[in-house]
Chains A and B, each alone.
Chain A
């Protein structure tokens, strides 16, 4: 079955540091890839997504590129802020050509702590 692997952390960085959270996946076919974020006390929300190989998703200064050859979707940000402290989840899902989709398959989540 499908699976997603990501570093669990916690990952602790200083403000303005460069961030990389690694994510690799195992899946048949060509899934869509996602990063979700869960801020303290809040619900899960979509951060960015990519639906095909070499696509780059971006939002709020975060970026991730769908790399089919390495089955990876690493999350990066050039300069993190304290407000980026949260748990980040990498996920995938399959879309069907006739419409419809699977549920999301999530990684275990990476707890990111940004210190001022």
Chain B
């Protein structure tokens, strides 16, 4: 497919466990973003990668959250020691360049029990 893909589509985990969420951006897109969509907070920006530059981590809610982007393509968002308040839909988006339109993936729905 030509769009942004994310996996898994759904994830249920127990409080305290670590989870990894994956994002495959559109081929050739240099910018990649992670957002979180929750009932209480709406849509929040988490982190942004542009090419090989250091990521903008200004939106990460705590040090339990981290993300990496390998080879300028696939990205993984890791949440350590998950808490119930981490339950949300995690959205990934990519754009050809930072100033261009962002295209969103379908999201990963995370439920922490």
Contact = CB atoms under 8 A, between A and B. Distances in A.
A104 B98 contact: no
Classify the secondary structure of B's interface with A.
Answer: strand
A99 interface: yes
Interface residues of A, number: 21
Interface residues on B, range: 20 to 34
Nearest to B53: A100
Interface string A33-64: 00000000011111001000000000000000
A44 to B, nearest CB: 4
Given A43-B105, A44-B91, A44-B104, A107 B99 contact: no
Interface of B: 31, 33, 35, 42-48, 50, 56, 59, 91, 93, 97-99, 101-107
Interface of A: 42-46, 49, 89, 91, 95-96, 99-109
